[in-house]
Amino acid sequence: MKLNHKRVFLRLNLRTIENFGEPYEGSRLGDVVVRTMYTATGHLFGEPKRTSPHDFRRIAITWQLKYGNREQDEALAEMIGHSVRESDRTYSQLTSREKTDKAVNWLETQYSTSVSSV
């Protein structure tokens, strides 16, 4: 089958053969994500959860802030169409404690470096 696009997510529903292999468009893909996650969380946790495609942005940004390589912040922000500052402000799910822990760890690092150089 030769495709006339370079999209990743394709329609595979054989009930409408004329759409087979065609790309999903924005909102339709979002509907598939919501439906699939609702079903999956129901099977995994015994209770289905409503999600949205933006939940994946929140997960990605929060994970990047907690564990990621800070040099990749700009690339991730560009992928979701925001500046680093805007993506962090909009999508970060870090708790106040997690934000404070990062500051405390930085301060301890600075203090131990200055003491060891004396």
Question: Given this model, what pLDDT does residue 80 score?
Answer: 86
Phi, psi of 105 (to 5 degrees): -60, -40
Structural Rg of the chain based on CA atoms: 21
110 within 8 A of 79, measured Cβ to Cβ: no
- Prediction pTM value: 0.57
Q: Which amino acid is residue 70, in one-letter code?
A: R
Q: What is the mean pLDDT of each run of 10 residues along the chain (118 residues)?
A: 63 67 73 89 93 87 89 90 91 86 76 64
